[in-house]
Amino acid sequence: MAIEKVGVVGAGQMGNGIAHVLALADYDVLMTDISEEAMSNALRLIDKNLDRQVMRGLISAEKKATALARISTTPVLTDLGQTDLIIEAATERETVKQAIFEDLLPHLKPTTILTSNTSSISITRLASRTDRPERFMGFHFMNPVPIMQLVELIRGIATDDATYNACVEVVERIGKTAASAEDFPAFIVNRILMPMINEAVYTLYEGVGSVKSIDESLKLGANHPMGPLELADFIGLDTCLAIMNVLHDGLADTKYRPCPLLVKYVEAGWLGRKTKRGFYDYRGEVPVPTR
């Protein structure tokens, strides 16, 4: 199962980072998105992030040029059908992901491996809606992709060994570390991380501490590089809520109940950095706590 050409569905925060690291590892990358603007922005951001790596001496200018030349874009999803591996990195909504895979199916090579960058949705369930559950996996990168070293590989109930081994080889070639996770809600990282963030929101909701005191407590008291509320804003409060809902629905345990304050922020459209307001207000020069 030689993989040389990879299709990436989605040109957002995760998709452009995935394209970046694949191209640096000498894969040919074809990226698609429903928005032409998103694809243009992704290419600009990849260029900028590669420049940073050049300035830090991590890669050469020649390597940057070669990587950029390996990335192409298309507005036509089905153009990805002739790639060896497809990594879906669209929004974290199961109906959206299912529709993408259903549209791709008639155009795929028999050997194409399908994967999803989902952070929480059942791989087995997504795979069951395709014609190749044995060649379907979870391929969960961490954000920001060029910096974070971990990739969670999640096998569905039908995923075969050849598919898993091929994905492990991709992870190794891009210089990252694979962690094998079972197909249960939110897998490993978010099964542990999101309840911590949710509990931080409850701590704020119940008035135990302010945004500033909660984040400072975890940074200085637990040596975390970012406070949990700052991290939630970075991830996106809508994504945090979606994962908590998957945990709550999938495991039926009240300890995973999303905090009402998290729900309220999402209802307000205060989703964090991407909307300029979340637990912090980012519209000024310095982020200011909103509570």
Residues noted as catalytic: 119, 140, 152, 190
Three-state secondary structure along the chain? CCCCEEEEECCCHHHHHHHHHHHHCCCEEEEECCCHHHHHHHHHHHHHHHHHHHHCCCCCHHHHHHHHHCEEEECCHHHHHHCCEEEECCCCCHHHHHHHHHHHHHHCCCCCEEEECCCCCCHHHHHHCCCCHHHEEEEEECCCCCCCCEEEEEECCCCCHHHHHHHHHHHHHCCCEEEEECCCCCCCHHHHHHHHHHHHHHHHHCCCCCHHHHHHHHHHHCCCCCCHHHHHHHHCHHHHHHHHHHHHHHHCCHHHCCCHHHHHHHHHCCCEHHHCECCEECCCCCCEECC
